[in-house]
Structure 1
Amino acid sequence: MSGHKPGHTRREVLILGAAALAPAGWARPARALPPAGGAIDSPYFAERVKSGALPRVAERLPNVPRVIEMAWRARLPGRHGGDIRMLMGDQRDLRMMTLYGYTRLIVYDDDLELVPDVLESFDVQEGRVFTLRLRAGHRWSDGSPFTTEDFRYWWEDVANNARLSPGGPPQALLPGGEPPRIEILSETEIRYSWTTPNPTFLPALADAQPTYLFMPSRYLKQFHERYADRRALKAKIAENRVRDWGALHERKSRMYRPENPDLPTLEPWRNTTPLPAEQFVFERNPYFHRIDENGRQLPYADRVTLTIGTSALVPAKTAAGESDLQARYLRFDNYTFLKDASKRMNIEVKLWKRAEGSYFALLPNLNAIDPVWRDLNRDLRYRRALSVAINREDVNKVIFFGLARVSGNTALPESPLYDARLAALWTQHDPALANRLLDEIGLTRRDDDGVRLLPDGRRLEFSIETAGENTEETDILDLVKQDFFAVGIKIYPRSTQRDVFRRRILAGQTVMSAWAGMDNALVTPDMEPDALAPTSPAQYQWPRWGQFFESNGREGERPALAEANGLVRLYQQWRISVTRQERRKIWQEMLAINADQLFTIGVINGTLQPIVTARDLRNVPNEGLYSFEPGAFLGRYMPDAFWFDRKTEAEG
């Protein structure tokens, strides 16, 4: 194996069986099944096993399952049984099961280190050669083998098929536009290599919405023109009322949003309900690869139900005890109501910390179409004046009862990249400094009610646009409005529908918007720092600069500020970095530039997210970090290890 050859300048080895990984969170070394008791199956499958419809559990597990030692994670080993009920507002919320299941080739552990999950191990050489080893004997939920053939099928027949992937393979596999060299070494071993480093590759596999390198090939070949019988495929196209085989394959193969009950999965639970439906039932995956230290196959809960309704009613239904595990569609301003309901109902309310860089931030549009507003937004003194004009302590006390944290838009204290100095930079409430900065710009003239005048005589008044999706946003802006008026700036909060909101920003019609800060503030050096540089038109502070980068200069505009161009260069350096030290240094520079330049003006972070559970649902942490990235909201805390403390006749 090339990972063991001498002479490499750098070799990182992350093997689940390596003792060196023991301290790194809950991903304990893999080992054989407990010798005394063997594998323990759920009574849910007893009849199917008895009839021969399913093999015994020991035959359904991989040769080396992933052992999750509950006691080592300060959890309780559990029992099988029960249905976890959840409430959702849309059929598209089926993707929450893929998030909460958080079954990935590799995952983030409690220390935000990347460790194997579906993989038994992986090996990295020189930051550019990645050898992935599957678990021998691992099977899809329908019992078909999970092997490197599923990887070959995805790469050759999906990612590089013009009909199925017109944009080509995912960007994580194309550093500098170079596709990987792929070597299938055996049924359980595959190697991806590039001529230059590819630090985006592993994090992309662990993402909440991951880059999938595989698909259930045995099932999907019946819908692919290369493999299917032509007459049978034509009949399936007609039966499903789609235009061609490509549309059929796309509909049947969605792994992230599991709408097709027939699609095999590796997740803890598999969907059994076709669209459309008011309730979706997910049944335990009989071939799931995780067990607890006693050999009990996970998940503990046999089923999960998603009941679809009106999202606005979710807090009330949760308070009425209609959900056993609920976070989605709950907000901090529901907490008092839910806590009061918990005195009467069989529910418990926990508060987890949200993990955005800023729960609420102001984003001056550096690409505003009006030249006067554009120049003002690009003036660092103006952005600093806005920042120090805000009384963040007031926002924290009034809106969040003092439970959140005053901070700029930057890494959280729980991140290894946290810098207290950057979090505090330009966050002090200093109206006198704000006035001096605004005067220094030349905005010294005011009208009769004290509002400053722009160089062309217009009043310094503008709308701050929002998507209008929560009341806290409006309440914060009401406080900011008073702070800004005190230094001669008048704002008008304005909410629009999200699609209109985005279009107006990209078109330059919006002067300033309000949105969350960094989606992921639990950053590590190995995570991609794309949020800190103009890389996407979805970045509302510089949408056209981001569009320029994303389109390779075909659309948008080249960044007009030296600091923004510097961030692009640093990001490009990260993308060819080899060592973690290099990546850490780049991250620190990018965080420092963003904190000093205030391209986004963060107001508050560390806000709290209600998590409501049934009172007898065990292993749900009392404290956690709630974020899409990293860890897929609840996913990093392993809902497959949540269990009901209810004794059954079957288990005594």
Structure 2
Amino acid sequence: MAKHRRTLRSRFTVTFVVGALVCLVAAGALAQVASKSSLIGKLEGPEVVTDPAKLPKQLKEAPQLAALVKAGKLPPVAERVGQDPLIIKPVHEIGKYGGTWRGGFTGPADFWNGYRCCSGPDHLLFWDYTGDKVTPNIAKGYEMQDGGRTIVLHLRRGMKWSDGRPFTADDFVFWFEDIYRNKDLVPTPSATMAINGKQGEVQKVDTYTVKFKFSDPYYMLPDVLAGSTDLGGQAWRGTLGLGGYAPAHYLKQFHPKYVAPADLDRKVKDAKFDSWVRMFFSKSDWALNPDLPVLTPWKTVTPSNTSTWTLERNPYSVFVDTEGNQLPYIDRVVLTLAENLEVINLRAIAGEYDFQARHLDLGKLPVFIENQQRGGYKLHLDPGDYGGDMIIKFNLSYEADPEIAKWMNTADFRRALAIGIDRDQINETFWLGTGTPSSVVPADSNKYNPGPQYRKLWATLDVKKANEMLDKIGLAKKDGEGYRLRTDGKGRLRIEIMTLGGQFLQFTQIAEMIREQWKKIGIDLTVQEVERSLALKRTAANEQQLGAWNNDGSEHLFTFPLHVFPFEIATVASSGPLYARWFHSAGTQGKEPPARMKELMEKFKRAYGVPEKERIELGKEVWKIAAEEVYIIGVIGMGPASMGVRVAKTNMGNIPSRQYNSPDGKTPTISRPVTFFWKK
């Protein structure tokens, strides 16, 4: 009861602080941000050890697992890990076992939260802590053969699923033959499994060797296997029938190839699904199915559709530190449901989270700074290299209203709206001046950046020019309140922007400010806030008009391109789901894009099959088209607002001063949370 009263008092204190002290501490806080000396640290992180001479000679384990071994309920740790553990050198020190990591999430649609903290990741390859270099991961190593047409993956001998069954090449063959090639499960093939429009194959060489073979050179494949792509592991993509491998021994019992029709129908009925496909995907869901065998260091024990998403250590984890301690150090991760962004931030400020970066509001930075000592945490800022902490996507394949569709597919309409935004006002209000008014292009240091002139292209306020452009394209007529009229005689031209509550930024409030700004150019903007799962449904159904989001990950252009052009269907904001379907199906499904976008798509696809020097030039051309055509409006970027505001308890170890901030690195996974630990 006393603890409960303290929690209530702390929340009351925090609420008061948020409401009354922001103005008092803002000046000092912003001076601290401006110096960048204490909040933005030096980029650092753990390393994967591949030198056989540096591998530990003996393996150790968490005390509770040792007790199970002693009781005969679990095999010895050496048998569980296998002969080729994945060795991680912690960023600072060898840790200690035990404890719980507390965090917050916003519900089942916030599945990214778990992927980021607890998936390991289970990618076959992954990025080093700089986000730039591909390293071994679940696969022990790889080599390119046949002029880039084949990648040979060497698996880790003796590695096992979380239920103790072997992880072998058979899990790749099952995925490819029985999941990926099953049209009921994967009706639209993935572009990541194709080069020049021709799909590749997966072949078993032996128990621990797999080949991905293609008819043309596929030089980008190692990056694709490292990134958050359709070949990015079971946890991230298994529930969509993708990922590159799957637990064959478990999932066969839900597949018609291996189960008699009557038995499968009974299973579907008993599980209360309307089809075997829906049941199969549910059983493949890392966040929802506690029975699913996994390769991740923690596994779900209480699913994400409950108020407390709980993950506990995987006894068969292949992750090990340089002294032979099986990882993770921390026993369990508990993510507690928060109703909205405000609740998550109040809890974080009050010190109720141990490590949290997702959903923290940059606008509350002064309050986070003021409460560090009281909350027992340290605040870090991790700016991203992407151009948009906030962007606005036009759904270019929208069809429900032909008038709206016509204007969204008119380049000068998109450009006029882009220069009708006062980014400086937004930056000062919501970013506290820490962001950069910008188009969508990545940081100037990014190898795919098309040039400094593209930073401000169609990204500088010019109300006079915006009005002239809108008049010129045929929207000169206005109603009595100064809003532009539709050309089909149906009254005022109204456009809706879909925003999400409880997600990183105050998207709705920012959109409301843009709505006021666009009044000056005669555009009537309706702001519609929706819950994330509804946004996913509306986007997939091609119902979204405009969507507010960010373009994090786009700095990894070729492995996380969904915020550059229409690439993904199942996303919270799309620049054209029908165009995305067309792209992935090599033109057999969806809707054919206009010529300029097809040019972008062709350059993008061609880059996968050429050496790096040529790929970099193609990447620059992709960004040039994206910036010139304004398929997506950039607002503010290269700041810490999107998952770059981070709190970590001061007694939590191996916390980097600064971490690479990108969904392609599943931050903080790129910092290897398996090495986080409690110092006391």
Whether TM-score is above 0.5 comes out as yes
Whether the 8 Å CA contact 1:24–1:111 is kept in 2: the answer is: no
Shift of 1:408: 0.4
Distance in 1, matches of 2:519 and 2:597, equals: 30
Equivalent position SS for 2:52: coil
* Letter of the structure 1 residue corresponding to residue 114 of structure 2: M
Equivalent position SS for 1:587: helix
Matching residue within 607, 630, 654 for 1:619: 654
* More moved, 460-469 vs 385-394: 460-469
* Letter of the structure 1 residue corresponding to residue 225 of structure 2: L
Distance in 2, matches of 1:380 and 1:94, equals: 35
Query: Could you tell me which residue of structure 2 aligns to residue 494 of structure 1?
Result: 527
Query: Which TM-score applies when normalising by structure 1?
Result: 0.81
Matching residue within 613, 631, 634 for 1:581: 613
How do residues 124-163 of structure 1 correspond to structure 2 at under 5 angstroms? 124-125=144-145, 126-161=147-182
How do residues 17-166 of structure 1 correspond to structure 2 at under 5 angstroms? 26-31=47-52, 34=55, 38-70=58-90, 73=91, 75-91=92-108, 93=110, 96-100=113-117, 101=119, 102-109=121-128, 110-125=130-145, 126-161=147-182, 165=185
How do residues 371-520 of structure 1 correspond to structure 2 at under 5 angstroms? 376-413=407-444, 415-418=446-449, 419-435=451-467, 437-438=469-470, 441=473, 462-469=494-501, 472-486=506-520, 488-497=521-530, 513-520=546-553
- Tell me the number of residue pairs that the alignment of Structure 1 and Structure 2 aligns: 611
Distance in 1, matches of 2:535 and 2:271, equals: 36
Shift of 1:450: 5.9
Shift of 1:319: 3.4
Query: Could you tell me which residue of structure 1 aligns to residue 31 of structure 2?
Result: none
* More moved, 245-254 vs 148-157: 245-254
Which string of whole-angstrom CA distances, capped at 9 and with x for unpartnered residues, describes residues 498-552 of structure 1? 6877888899987x6242253422225x536565445566775455544554565
Query: Could you tell me which residue of structure 2 aligns to residue 359 of structure 1?
Result: 389
Distance in 1, matches of 2:410 and 2:310, equals: 54
Share of identical aligned residues, percent? 26
* Letter of the structure 1 residue corresponding to residue 180 of structure 2: A
With over 3 angstroms needed to count, the CA separation of the structure-2 counterparts of 1:446 and 1:276, relative to structure 1, is: closer
Whether the 8 Å CA contact 1:223–1:245 is kept in 2: the answer is: yes
State the Cα RMSD in Å: 3.9
Query: Could you tell me which residue of structure 1 aligns to residue 319 of structure 2?
Result: 290
* Letter of the structure 2 residue corresponding to residue 321 of structure 1: G
Shift of 1:588: 0.8
Query: Could you tell me which residue of structure 2 aligns to residue 302 of structure 1?
Result: 331
* More moved, 116-125 vs 300-309: 300-309
Asked if 1:213 is matched to 2:244, the reply is yes
Distance in 1, matches of 2:53 and 2:137, equals: 15
Query: Could you tell me which residue of structure 1 aligns to residue 232 of structure 2?
Result: none
With over 3 angstroms needed to count, the CA separation of the structure-2 counterparts of 1:80 and 1:541, relative to structure 1, is: closer
Query: Could you tell me which residue of structure 2 aligns to residue 565 of structure 1?
Result: 598
Shift of 1:345: 2.5
Which string of whole-angstrom CA distances, capped at 9 and with x for unpartnered residues, describes residues 288-339 of structure 1? 2222222222111122223345345333333343322223343323444444
Query: Could you tell me which residue of structure 2 aligns to residue 14 of structure 1?
Result: none
Equivalent position SS for 1:563: helix
Query: Which TM-score applies when normalising by structure 2?
Result: 0.78
* Letter of the structure 1 residue corresponding to residue 149 of structure 2: R
Shift of 1:142: 2.5
Can you give the 5+ residue segments of structure 1 that lack an aligned partner in the other structure?
A: 1-22, 647-652
Matching residue within 343, 346, 353 for 2:373: 343
Larger-Rg structure: 1
* Letter of the structure 2 residue corresponding to residue 586 of structure 1: L
Whether the 8 Å CA contact 2:349–2:368 is kept in 1: the answer is: yes
Query: Could you tell me which residue of structure 2 aligns to residue 17 of structure 1?
Result: none
Whether the 8 Å CA contact 1:127–1:578 is kept in 2: the answer is: no
Shift of 1:105: 0.8
Matching residue within 167, 184, 193 for 2:187: 167
Whether the 8 Å CA contact 1:85–1:306 is kept in 2: the answer is: yes
Equivalent position SS for 2:142: strand
Shift of 1:128: 1.8
Which string of whole-angstrom CA distances, capped at 9 and with x for unpartnered residues, describes residues 572-615 of structure 1? 4235x232223222111110112122222211112423322222
Whether the 8 Å CA contact 1:30–1:66 is kept in 2: the answer is: no
* More moved, 450-459 vs 344-353: 450-459
Shift of 1:424: 2.3
Shift of 1:392: 1.5
Query: Could you tell me which residue of structure 2 aligns to residue 331 of structure 1?
Result: 361
Asked if 1:521 is matched to 2:554, the reply is yes
* Letter of the structure 1 residue corresponding to residue 647 of structure 2: V
Distance in 2, matches of 1:91 and 1:168, equals: 25
Query: Could you tell me which residue of structure 1 aligns to residue 200 of structure 2?
Result: 180
* Letter of the structure 1 residue corresponding to residue 94 of structure 2: P
Whether the 8 Å CA contact 1:103–1:267 is kept in 2: the answer is: yes
Query: Could you tell me which residue of structure 2 aligns to residue 20 of structure 1?
Result: none
Shift of 1:448: 6.9
Matching residue within 635, 639, 661 for 1:603: 635
* Letter of the structure 2 residue corresponding to residue 85 of structure 1: R
* Letter of the structure 2 residue corresponding to residue 123 of structure 1: E
* Letter of the structure 2 residue corresponding to residue 189 of structure 1: T
Distance in 2, matches of 1:231 and 1:456, equals: 56
Shift of 1:112: 2.3
Distance in 2, matches of 1:68 and 1:287, equals: 16
Asked if 1:263 is matched to 2:292, the reply is yes
Distance in 2, matches of 1:454 and 1:52, equals: 75
Can you give the 5+ residue segments of structure 2 that lack an aligned partner in the other structure?
A: 1-43, 229-235
Asked if 1:644 is matched to 2:674, the reply is no
Query: Could you tell me which residue of structure 1 aligns to residue 209 of structure 2?
Result: 189
Distance in 1, matches of 2:330 and 2:45, equals: 27
Distance in 2, matches of 1:540 and 1:168, equals: 17
With over 3 angstroms needed to count, the CA separation of the structure-2 counterparts of 1:449 and 1:547, relative to structure 1, is: same
Shift of 1:213: 2.4
With over 3 angstroms needed to count, the CA separation of the structure-2 counterparts of 1:80 and 1:543, relative to structure 1, is: closer
* More moved, 136-145 vs 206-215: 206-215
Whether the 8 Å CA contact 2:140–2:156 is kept in 1: the answer is: yes
With over 3 angstroms needed to count, the CA separation of the structure-2 counterparts of 1:333 and 1:183, relative to structure 1, is: same
Query: Could you tell me which residue of structure 1 aligns to residue 36 of structure 2?
Result: none
